Amino acid sequence: MTQDSIHAAPKAGKSIRPSRWVRIDQTMIDQFGAITFDPDPMHIDAEWARENGPYGGTIAFGFLTLSLLTHLLHDAMNSSPESELRQPGHFLNYGFNRVRFITPVRSNERVRGHFRIEDSVSDEQGRLMTCVHCEIEIEGRDRPALVAEWLSLQVPPEAI
């Protein structure tokens, strides 16, 4: 089976429909802080954040917002990690060319992802590298939570 028969290369410039909204609530923020061993009161102490922080309450960790990209992209593409596991080969996060945290996400705000394929190229090993422009919108806000250029590798079985 060739790489072309596994998945067609995404077209550069192609926008993907927005994902559905996801609410980032305090429980999610607290769990992220616990699992990453980060007890920053700006995120997990509502009283402290109200009295001492510039946002009137707690905000999501920037890395929590960033970590939602996989879920938001799958939602936007109407795909799932489980269905990808049934296909030959596999996908890997390769990294980011750029990540900028623009606007903090306040506890209980909703976000959604917007995605556009920037580039997709094959390398000498037959792997397909795709660069996706990502923007996480905050409902009702003028500025996004973050913008990023996300790189992924699609590795066909013969390249393993």
Q: Is 60 helix (H, G, I), strand (E, B) or coil?
A: coil
**Tens of pLDDT, residue by residue, the chain (160 residues):** 233 433 455 677 788 899 999 999 999 999 999 999 999 999 999 999 999 999 999 999 999 999 999 999 999 988 766 555 556 778 889 999 999 999 999 999 999 999 999 999 998 888 899 999 999 999 999 999 999 999 999 888 775 5
pLDDT in the model for residue 3: 37
Nearest to 69 by CA among 102, 103, 95: 95
Amino acid present at 138: I
- What pLDDT, on a 0 to 100 scale, did the predictor assign at position 124? 86
Return the structure tokens found at 129.
Answer: 């590298």
Q: What is the pLDDT of residue 13?
A: 74
- State pTM to two decimals: 0.84
d(CA 40, CA 52): 12
Cα angle 21, 27, 33; round to 5: 105
Phi, psi for residue 51 in degrees, rounded to 5: -80, -30
Structure confidence at residue 133 (pLDDT): 97
Please tell me the predicted confidence (pLDDT) of residue 1.
27
Check residue 73 and give its pLDDT. 94
